[in-house]
Amino acid sequence: MSFRAEELLEQAMKLPESERRVLAPRLLESVGDESPEEIERAWVEEARRRLDDIREGRSQPIPWKEARGRIFARG
């Protein structure tokens, strides 16, 4: 994900849940006409890619508590 997209995500995560519930489906609508099966297949593929990155040492996972702390510390 680009730096700009990461920044947008961080800002979106700071919105109240009610606003995120409105925003999320609108974003999904903007990305195409994929079927739920195609979307699920893409997520499975992404999860496998990320797992491979971890196993091959290309990526280092961090605990959710730490990730969440980083997200909210930037705001």
Dist. CA 42–CA 29, nearest whole Å: 16
Name the nearest CA neighbour of 69 among 24, 1, 13: 13
User: Are 22 and 57 found together in one domain?
Assistant: no
Mean pLDDT, rounded, for 22-40: 86
- Indicate the pTM of the whole model: 0.49
User: Are 23 and 39 found together in one domain?
Assistant: no
32 has pLDDT over 90: no
What's the pLDDT score for residue 74? 78
Which domain range does residue 10 map to? 1-32
Backbone angles phi, psi at 46, to 5 degrees: -65, -45
Contact between 63 and 2 under an 8 Å Cβ cutoff? The reply is: no
- Measured CA angle at 50 (ends 46, 55), to 5 deg: 145
The tens digit of pLDDT for each residue in 48-60 reads: 999 999 999 999 9
Mean pLDDT, rounded, for 5-9: 92
User: Are 26 and 38 found together in one domain?
Assistant: no
